[in-house]
Amino acid sequence: MSISIGVCVFNEEKNIEKMLNLLLNQKSTCEIIEIIVVSSGCSDKTNEIVKSEFLKSNSKVILLTQKVREGKASAINLLLKHARGEIVVLESGDTIPAEGTIESLTAPFKNPDVGMTGGHPIPINNPDTFLGFSVHLLWKLHHKIALKKPKLGELVAFRRDLVHEIPFDTAVDEAFIEALLHEQGYQLRYVPSAIVYNKGPETISDFLKQRRRITAGHLHLMRDKGYVPSSMKLNIVKLIFDDFTWTPKNIVWTFGAMVLEGYGRALGFYDFYIKKDKHYIWNIAETTKNVNPEQVK
């Protein structure tokens, strides 16, 4: 199988060089034929770094630019027009793949019934702070949910011939692709060994930006496609307390994280039903942008 890796970016100058180097160094039994960077309205040095450090020295790296941000779904549709691989790997621009991740992520496609796979996001935030604790709790829950019923995000792969385009106004692109593949009768696979590092929000404001956007996006998906993501229907509270350590700090911080998540979801409901805001052009959470290479093993 041939693989096209797509990276959609907006102002990723702090992350793009390390990410592309790690993607270029991925070893895979499938052939990685191209790495397509879709730059949407970047105003920092992202494009300059890609041009000067990669375009001249590696023919696999391709840069597509959009002068104006039109939303990630628009960037993905541009990617799909150019991708030549049988499998498209879609990685968020503010993440870092671990060694061997692409091989693990694409291995399940040997089964023709598998239409989409998703990696295992691990945050680099300091868990000894309240927000760091909340971010780790959120992604641990994501992991537990995905083990029970695949919930794919941050790093996904899918069969190119099954996805031609996605609606420009979806704020949850991976979930929409999930719905599309599920609708066609293909299997979804969560791959815990396909590790991708990300950085969660470091301020309450950024935390709420993300959670309200995702909730509004899921509500939009549920209305238009009738597809309910796993995180919207599994008993999240039960999963939290399945292996809970009953210490005073854990109790207080877990309760605080649940209140934050609940408030973020309430804002998402308000945005979708009252404001009619689909959040397809994201309100950027700036504190998630720098995945410090020293924190990634």
Dihedral (C-alpha) 148, 150, 153, 156: value to the nearest 10 degrees? 140
> What is the value of pTM for the model shown?
0.92
Q: How does residue 223 score in pLDDT terms, banded at 50, 70 and 90?
A: very high
pLDDT tens profile 107-148: 999 999 999 999 999 999 999 999 999 999 999 999 999 999
Extract the tokens encoding 118: 């998703």
Quick one: pLDDT at residue 61? 97
- Give which of 22, 79, 16 is closest to 44, Cα–Cα: 16
pLDDT tens profile 282-292: 778 788 887 76
What number of CA atoms fall less than 13 Å from residue 70's CA on the CB side? Answer: 14
- Give which of 243, 217, 246 is closest to 231, Cα–Cα: 217
Residues written for the chain: 297
Quick one: pLDDT at residue 234? 66
Q: Tally Cβ neighbours within 10 Å of residue 223.
A: 10
Q: How far, CA to CA in Å, does 259 sit from each of 40, 127, 208, 249?
A: 34, 18, 11, 15
Domain edges within the chain? 2-291
CATH class of 2-291: alpha beta
Q: How does residue 295 score in pLDDT terms, banded at 50, 70 and 90?
A: low
